[in-house]
A and B are shown apart, each in its own frame.
Chain A
Amino acid sequence: MDEKTVRKKKVTATVVSQEQIAERIYDLRLETELAQDARAGQFVALYPHNAATLLPRPISICETDRAEGQLRLVYRVAGKGTAEFSTYGAGDTLDVLGVLGNGFPVARAAGRRVFLMGGGIGIPPMLQLAKELDAEKHILLGYRDQDLFLHEDLGQCGQVYIATEDGSVGVQGSVMDIIKVNGLTADVIMACGPMPMLRAIKQYAAEQGIDAYISLEERMACGVGACLGCVCATNGVDSHSHVKNARICTDGPVFEAREVNI
């Protein structure tokens, strides 16, 4: 949210590789010029080929490789569109809209002690964030069970702590339980995950008096701020309608936790 917005484009990307890395979780690498513009916390929108599934699917950017011109997307199959994507293999092409959204304010965490907190399919954007952050990084990951993904990649960027809902790996419970069990503290939090987790982080950050930047999601249509479909209630008036309803696609997806009513 600190840097100048680059021009959005709709481009055709080529699949470099795709593999399934956990139940319903796929790791897709795309060759696309959008890699040059992408920053941690931003997203792209992928168009299914099936004309009956019209709308682009917003998917967070897991990793950016500018030298190779590649974007890595790790997504969960949640419906017809993502099910179609999961069938793609090397050499297949698809249309991509991007780069969308504002991303994490990396500069505000420089040199500080940071919690990077990812829950479930909110984990992927933590990887690019971890790579871009020059800070003391504590990476807190929450999974349902032992079907882990991306924890090894993240382990190369900082200290990783794991929680599972069923207790099969690491701390039993959520990412919040990791903080308690390990007695961790931070100056700043950056997080993406399910709404109950983000609510808990918002409350924790308020109690601790620290800044938290959380990435939200909502059903979207256009992805570029025109349709006003993906709004989130905010404390201050939003930039578009001046009604305290910010657009997650353009004003977000990353918001300062105290700015949003979730």
Chain B
Amino acid sequence: MNTKVTIAGVTLNNPVMTASGTFGSGMEYSDFVDLNRLGAVVTKGVANVPWPGNPTPRVAEVYGGMLNAIGLQNPGIDVFVERDIPFLKKYDTRIIVNVCGKTVDDYLEVVERLGHEPVDMLEINVSCPNVKEGAIAFGQKADHLYDITSRIKRRAKQPVIMKLSPNVTDIAEMARAAEAAGADALSMINTITGMKIDIHRRRFALANKTGGLSGPAVKPVAVRMVYQASHAVKIPVIGMGGIANGEDAVEFLLAGASAVAVGAMNFVDPCATVKVIEGIEDYMARYHVENVTDLIGAVDE
């Protein structure tokens, strides 16, 4: 059985990664998960300088999922390079660094710093719904997405994954814009903007009022978008959104994803990533699938 997949020239031992922001830089989950088992660790978004994030409450549970409005709290690239990359280098897993910024120059500064670091790929966050400047402002209009992608591509030393927002009218158009600008891969979906109101106190559940919806509740939306995007472009798509087990992961692969990421379910089961890997292997054994790549886009049309 061969579970290896190759994305933009980078080979992963298996197609399972962590979704940015749900796994820290791996350290917080190393009590539960052997990080060597993971195809890749995708880190929490990092900016050029530390960001304090949003006021609390930052998280709220909803039916079958959760809302978050963390606001990309992060230590900035200096601490990240000194602490988090050396930690991850101890493991046999690929390192994908999620990059965020308020301006294009912020992104470029981080991308250039990482050019000298032993990281395998960059994931560019142009889809966080919880910060007012930057981030999603670049990810909701095709021409803005094209512009930032092409500027990052000119400076990046590593392959560039553009992480797309589901909060758009036409995901295929956004996927084509990123591809045309030179993106090496796409990942989706980031969270869906949502809201929750405490009716007894007549208050918003989140201090930010709105937050990003994730968890099993979003999975059908994510599968649909991965299908549409992967059929609109030739570059690989990394699928995520509510993946809880191997069966969910296989669904994304069949829809057209070349790899998958586990997000909110890490909070529900700290061992979720490894269970997803084992579940994919079980499926491959059951259906006599030799190469996991045989599953990519293999839904019967």
Q: A54-B267, A221-B68 are known; give 10 further A-B pairs, CB within 8 A.
A: A9-B32, A52-B64, A54-B61, A54-B268, A222-B266, A226-B23, A229-B57, A231-B73, A242-B79, A243-B52
Interchain CB contact under 8 A, A221 and B66: yes
Interface presence of B75 (CB below 8 A): yes
Bound: A239/B162 CA distance, A:
30
Contacts of B7 in A (CB 8 A): none
Interface presence of B215 (CB below 8 A): yes
Bound: A224/B59 CA distance, A:
14
Contacts of A10 in B (CB 8 A): 32, 269-271
Q: B260-296 toward A: CB 8 Å interface, digit per residue (1/0)? A: 0000101111110000000000000000000000000
Q: Which secondary structure characterizes the binding site on chain A? A: loop
- A222 with B267: in contact, given A55-B61, A230-B56, A245-B53 (CB under 8 Å)? yes
Q: How large is the interface on A (under 10, 10 to 19, 20 to 34, 35 or more residues)?
A: 20 to 34
Subset of 13 A-B contacts with CB under 8 Å: A54-B64, A54-B267, A56-B268, A218-B57, A222-B22, A224-B29, A226-B22, A226-B44, A227-B70, A228-B53, A241-B53, A242-B75, A243-B53
Interface presence of A220 (CB below 8 A): yes
Contacts of B58 in A (CB 8 A): 219, 228-231
Bound: A54/B79 CA distance, A:
32
Interface presence of B115 (CB below 8 A): no
Bound: A232/B53 CA distance, A:
11
Interface presence of B127 (CB below 8 A): no
Contacts of A244 in B (CB 8 A): 52
Bound: A240/B70 CA distance, A:
14
Q: Which residues from chain B sit less than 8 Å from chain A, CB to CB? A: 21-24, 28-29, 31-32, 44, 50-53, 56-61, 63-66, 68, 70, 73-76, 79, 215-216, 264, 266-271
Interchain CB contact under 8 A, A222 and B28: yes
Interchain CB contact under 8 A, B61 and A53: yes
Contacts of A230 in B (CB 8 A): 56, 58-59
Interchain CB contact under 8 A, A224 and B75: no
Bound: A250/B75 CA distance, A:
16
Taking CB atoms and an 8 Å cut-off, the chain A residues in 213-255 that contact chain B are 218-232, 240-245, 250
Contacts of B264 in A (CB 8 A): 54, 221
Taking CB atoms and an 8 Å cut-off, the chain A residues in 9-35 that contact chain B are 9-10
Q: How far is the CB of B62 from chain A (nearest CB, A)?
A: 9
Interface presence of A7 (CB below 8 A): yes
Interchain CB contact under 8 A, B59 and A219: yes
Contacts of A43 in B (CB 8 A): none
Contacts of A232 in B (CB 8 A): 56
Interface presence of A97 (CB below 8 A): yes
Contacts of B22 in A (CB 8 A): 222, 226-227
- A224 with B28: in contact, given A54-B65, A229-B68, A241-B73 (CB under 8 Å)? yes
Q: A148-172 toward B: CB 8 Å interface, digit per residue (1/0)? A: 0000000000000000000000000
Closest 4 CB pairs of A and B: A229-B59, A226-B24, A226-B28, A243-B52
Interface presence of A75 (CB below 8 A): no
Contacts of B66 in A (CB 8 A): 54-55, 221
Interchain CB contact under 8 A, B21 and A231: no
Closest to A6 in B: B31
Q: How far is the CB of A120 from chain B (nearest CB, A)?
A: 17
Contacts of A218 in B (CB 8 A): 56-57
Bound: A56/B76 CA distance, A:
29
Interface presence of A51 (CB below 8 A): yes
Bound: A53/B65 CA distance, A:
8
Contacts of B270 in A (CB 8 A): 8, 10, 97, 222, 224
Interface presence of A104 (CB below 8 A): no
Instruction: Determine which residue in B24, B59, B64, B76 has the highest number of CB atoms from chain A within 10 A of its CB, and name it.
Output: B59
Interchain CB contact under 8 A, A55 and B50: no
Closest to B79 in A: A242
Bound: A240/B53 CA distance, A:
13
Bound: A242/B46 CA distance, A:
13
Interchain CB contact under 8 A, B31 and A9: yes
